[in-house]
A and B are shown apart, each in its own frame.
Chain A
Amino acid sequence: MIFDLAFIWAGLIAFAVLVYVVLDGFDLGVGILFPFARSEKERDVMMNTVAPVWDGNETWLILGGGGLFAVFPLAYAVVMPALYIPIILMLLALVFRGVAFEYRWRTQRWKGFWSVAFFGGSVVAAFTQGIALGALVQGIEFEGRAYSGGWFDWLTPFSVFTGIALIVGYALLGATWINLKTAGALQAWNRDAAKPLALITLVMIGLVSALTPFQDAVYFERWLSFPGSLWTAIVPILVAVIAYKLFTGLRDGFDLQPFLMANAIFVVCFIGIGISFYPHIVPPGMTIQEAAAPNSSLLFTLVGAGILVPIILIYTGYAYWVFRGKIDENSGYH
């Protein structure tokens, strides 16, 4: 039976991670673009576009990690030690970045320092997340119920490349977000920046996609063998269509379309990763079924998730609705 509880949960965890990527992606992207702003005032406005929502965005990361612990404890216990160093670095980066939202307004002398912390934290968080993804695609060794690889297995040219790709991708999300939320010179600057960022992102997606089938025979089989490739070919075609809409949206000066299209690229790529991974949760050797907690745990948690996730989506949507539209440059309580 494919549609059992573990399968549903794998979908829900994947959904949580995807929501995290598209939501925290743009606010990390705002941080990545921070040093390129041309004035402190612009940086203030950029930060205020995400101040009311960043905390909610980041909570999806806790749901991704906590959900893995709850329903796939074996995967959690194997992946965390395997990615020990990147995860510690990501956590420290998120510490710096998270406090910068408040600290930056509480000091004049150290304002520049907390701007750098916001930027550095965003870049390192994006980079380590990309590395984690790359390392996962490459596969994680384990024996029995524990990680059995080395300390630096995660560090390869491929994972470094996926790390850089995610920095650029998040920057694209950030630029299209600022394009959506601001007006005037700041908007124009970000709209201009979004074009090369989109181009580099697409090139990097192309390279990662070209390299991925060679990381594991299963991926190769899935993507490049006939007739399955007739189906998987939909993925690159979709990316091409979305990319076209992204560029025309930027060219025609639309607010929302570029942001939605940039996010759509992430969604499609994420589905692509899912196609590669299934039915594994930790490639190459651990399937969704093997990692799953007992059914009583899955069911107990599913009842709550089934009720609460829709409610969360509703009030999260409401919070975004409250702060909709172009930002008032003098808003905030600082």
Chain B
Amino acid sequence: MFEAFSAETLARVQFAFTVSFHIIFPAFSIGLASYLAVLNGLWLWKRNPVYKNLFNYWKKIFAVAFGMGVVSGIVMSYQFGTNWSVFSDRTGPILGPLMAYEVLSAFFLEAGFLGIMLFGREKVGEKLHMFATAMVAFGTLMSATWILSVNSWMHTPDGFLISENGQFLPLDWWDIVFNPSFPYRLTHMVLAAYLTTAFVVGAVGALHLLRRRTDPEARKMFSMAMWMAVIVTPLQIFAGHEHGLNTLEHQPVKIMAMEGHYESHPDGWTPLYLFGIPNDAEQRLDYAVGIPGLGNLIFEHPLDYPTEGLDTVPDEDQPPVFIVFWSFRVMVGLGFLMLGVGAWSAWTRWRGTFYEAIWLHRASVVMGPSGFVAVLAGWITTEVGRQPYTVYGLLRTSDSLSPVDAPAVGASLMAFIVVYFFVFGAGTFYLLRLMSQRVNQTSPDITDGPIRTAGITPAPQLKPDTLAPGE
């Protein structure tokens, strides 16, 4: 059944599949954990029950998403060994300690305080409960820090030497942890996680505003989310730009693929391609539409600065351009859409129609999943752009594989696909149903539990007297 594929192809597909599923949940839980800490803090400070209601609402959503993140993460931590054991043996002395630090300083922190955050408010009191909530949020950020250090090192390895048996050995831990692309990658990812969460929270707030415009919880979460969109999106575009400059310095081939530059421009005036179909076989960008010179400006070069293209790179050292070119465009396009929604929300706020702007609310609902798509597209850009290497320029993907046969990798891949679609499909369904429920359920007997066993909970009836303006 799997004879048509090599073990390497199947192992790559398996890793791409499991890591793509996995990254969705941390992208959400990093942002949501911080949001929960802010909500809990505001509740303690202002004693406005809206904050507490929002905390209790989002913590259940957090718990489901966090559970999915944990189980998909355990898979990742063992997959290095099962499918990529040569990579594990070679890079273990460097990447292993970083991952061990992630477990010690992040996973235990999250897991240890999660129970208290979810179930312990009455048992430990408000202050310790706040501490536990803050520790969970801090843990998610620590986790991001370590795993992005690992990932960045694979892109821009530093602080090592290579032993006779091919192992990477640590030389300077400071250089390893703070490798050249790490600060950019970490900033870009954490901001992405915050934006992802902001657009989910914004979509849920907007959904409930569309159903019941005076709902105080819906107003609060929509407002908070849109402030995040207004402030963080421009920061993220700037951070992404800086990250790109860093990539240009350390991984120029990746930039060539992202920009579709098959050809060199010895006289400068490099175009910025808006559209095109990368054609690896012919080594050219078909149907290219570009703006001359803008490519140079984006990378802060003078207009006549000469740039190199993929024609300077041997075929076997090139990443698959089509995927990198288009995933990059998806990410950037969504970023500008987010910027647009943020600006729109600021405009309606200034006009005083923020809570009545139905089309803004509808657009926000549609934009709910945009962060996830952008995060995935961004990861595809950077990871596929690293090919054909696992450790950039030093260890090829084809030399990283376990001594495994295609049927074993293929069978386990099938098992992962079936289980993941089923388990995470069900989880997504439960998440959407939780998000569809109103925040403040006043009826004590149907507090949080599912109201129906299938389908979306119907919108509550709007009573005329609750539609008075200004709540």
Contact = CB atoms under 8 A, between A and B. Distances in A.
A87 B100 contact: no
A67 B100 CA distance: 6
B82 A88 contact: yes
B68 to A, nearest CB: 6
A147 B408 CA distance: 15
A92 B414 CA distance: 12
A52 B124 CA distance: 14
Q: How large is the interface on A (under 10, 10 to 19, 20 to 34, 35 or more residues)?
A: 35 or more
Given A99-B423, A106-B450, A70 B92 contact: yes
A110 B105 CA distance: 36
A181 B220 CA distance: 40
A252 B454 CA distance: 48
Contacts of B449: 105, 334
Nearest to A69: B96
Interface in B58-76: 59-60, 63-64, 67-68, 70-75
Contacts of A199: none
Which of A63, A95, A146 has the most B CB atoms < 10 Å from its CB?
A: A95
Interface in A107-138: 107-110
Which of B88, B97, B110, B120 has the most A CB atoms < 10 Å from its CB?
A: B97
A62 interface: yes
Interface string B413-426: 00110011001001
Given A147-B403, A323-B115, A98 B81 contact: no
B358 interface: no
Interface stretch (A167-175, A241-249, A272-280, A297-305): A297-305
Nearest to A92: B419
A40 interface: no
B81 A77 contact: yes
Contacts of B95: 69
B104 A309 contact: yes
A96 B423 contact: yes
Interface in B407-438: 408, 412, 415-416, 419-420, 423, 426-427, 430, 433-434
A78 B89 CA distance: 9
Interface string A47-78: 00001110110110111011101110110111
B114 interface: yes
B423 A91 contact: no
A81 B60 contact: no
A315 interface: yes
Given A99-B423, A334-B448, A51 B115 contact: yes
Contacts of B70: 55, 58, 98
A308 B415 contact: no
Nearest to B422: A96
B104 A312 contact: yes
Contacts, number: 253
Interface string B37-77: 00000000000000000001001100110011011111101
Contact of B67 (A62, A76, A102, A110): A102
Contacts of A110: 426, 453
A140 interface: no
A266 interface: no
A293 B96 contact: yes
Interface in A153-177: none
Contacts of A65: 77-78, 81
A119 to B, nearest CB: 16
Given A88-B412, A106-B434, A294-B93, A69 B423 contact: no
B429 to A, nearest CB: 9
A145 interface: yes
A106 B433 contact: yes
Interface stretch (B165-173, B207-215, B259-267): B165-173
Interface in A18-66: 51-53, 55-56, 58-59, 61-63, 65-66
Contacts of B426: 99, 103, 110
A77 B80 CA distance: 9
B289 interface: no
B112 interface: yes
Which of B108, B114, B423, B434 has the most A CB atoms < 10 Å from its CB?
A: B108
A80 B82 contact: yes
B99 interface: yes
A312 B108 contact: yes
A198 B110 CA distance: 34
B17 to A, nearest CB: 14
Contact of B173 (A81, A300, A309): A300
A80 B85 contact: yes
Contacts of B433: 106
B404 interface: yes
A304 B101 contact: yes
A53 B420 CA distance: 24
A77 B92 contact: yes
Nearest to B128: A322
B463 interface: no
Contacts of A106: 64, 430, 433-434, 450
Given A76-B85, A102-B427, A323-B123, 4 more contacts: A73-B91, A76-B92, A99-B68, A145-B165
17 contacts: A56-B111, A62-B77, A66-B77, A70-B100, A71-B100, A73-B88, A84-B408, A94-B71, A95-B71, A109-B453, A293-B93, A296-B93, A300-B170, A315-B112, A322-B124, A333-B60, A334-B449
Interface of A: 51-53, 55-56, 58-59, 61-63, 65-67, 69-71, 73-74, 76-81, 84-85, 87-88, 91-92, 94-96, 98-99, 101-103, 105-110, 145-148, 151, 293-294, 296-297, 300-301, 304-305, 308-309, 312, 315-316, 318-319, 322-323, 331-334
Q: Which 8 A-B pairs have the closest CB atoms?
A: A73-B92, A80-B81, A52-B115, A70-B96, A77-B89, A98-B71, A70-B100, A77-B85
